Amino acid sequence: MSIPAQTIYPRTGDRQTVYLNAVVKDPNISVGAYTMYNDFVNDPVDFEKNNVLYHYPINRDRLVIGRFCSIACGAKFVFTSANHTMTSLSTYPFPLFFEEWGTPISEVAESWDNKGDIVIGNDVWIGYEAVIMSGVKIGDGAIIGTRAVVTKDVEPYTIVGGIPAKSIRKRYSQDIITQLEAVRWWDLPHDQLKQLIPAIRSGSPEALLRAYHALNQ
């Protein structure tokens, strides 16, 4: 399903909250519909500059964020180029300063150890000033606590927090999580989704599953 075109500001008179897919320009950043970012310190339109760090084109790594995510003020996505290589005897990035040391410009990306893309699922809540490190994958429905530093993958519908972030608990049983992952309500057409909002807001996954199956009979 194609992502619908969206306004930058979803709330009248609110210039602190934006739909991210309406403001990102970098082709290596992909954001799903209705994912929002709130910033009461900086202009949220500058999300790429202020929140996506060390994301240099030479490395070709990607930031992928799903639909209906909620990203709080100051959350950061720190990419591979922030790292220094651990495979060298020295952590000093000699290839980065190729003009000084005569290393081939083609070796610039060897200044760091490549960790890969950052991939955020759907319906993920990322708390205030949380930091997501390169190579991390966060599953659907996960919650990232305030100022957590996420260095490892987070399973779907799991709450994590701390430095480094550790699992606190699952939001639901594994059986319910499996069913929610199969339903993928976030991919439904707008009109169908509006009908399911009462069930979603009820807090009962069972109510959502019943409403979804009734809608698709």
Residue 84: active-site member: yes
The count of residues in the chain is 217
Taking 80 as the threshold, does the pLDDT of residue 5 lie above it? Answer: no
With beta carbons less than 8 A apart as the criterion, state whether 143 and 171 touch.
yes
- The string of pLDDT tens digits covering residues 109-149 is 888 888 999 999 999 999 999 999 999 999 999 999 999 99
Taking 60 as the threshold, does the pLDDT of residue 189 lie above it? Answer: yes
- Residue located via tokens 């608990």: 169
With beta carbons less than 8 A apart as the criterion, state whether 204 and 196 touch.
no
Pairwise CA distance, residues 36 & 144, whole Å: 15
- Within 8 A by CB and 6+ apart from 7, the residues are 19, 22
* pTM exceeds 0.85 for this model: yes
**Residue in 55, 84, 190, 213 annotated catalytic:** 84
- The string of pLDDT tens digits covering residues 35-58 is 999 999 999 999 999 999 999 988
Q: Give CATH for domain 17-171.
A: 2.160.10.10
**159-183 mean pLDDT:** 96
With beta carbons less than 8 A apart as the criterion, state whether 102 and 111 touch.
no
Taking 90 as the threshold, does the pLDDT of residue 187 lie above it? Answer: yes
- The string of pLDDT tens digits covering residues 49-106 is 999 999 998 888 999 999 999 999 999 999 998 888 888 999 999 988 999 998 998 8
> Structural domain boundaries of the chain?
17-171, 172-217
pLDDT band at 177 (very low <50, low <70, confident <90, very high): very high
More confident residue, 7 or 77: 77
Taking 50 as the threshold, does the pLDDT of residue 1 lie above it? Answer: no
* Residue 141 structure tokens: 């429905």
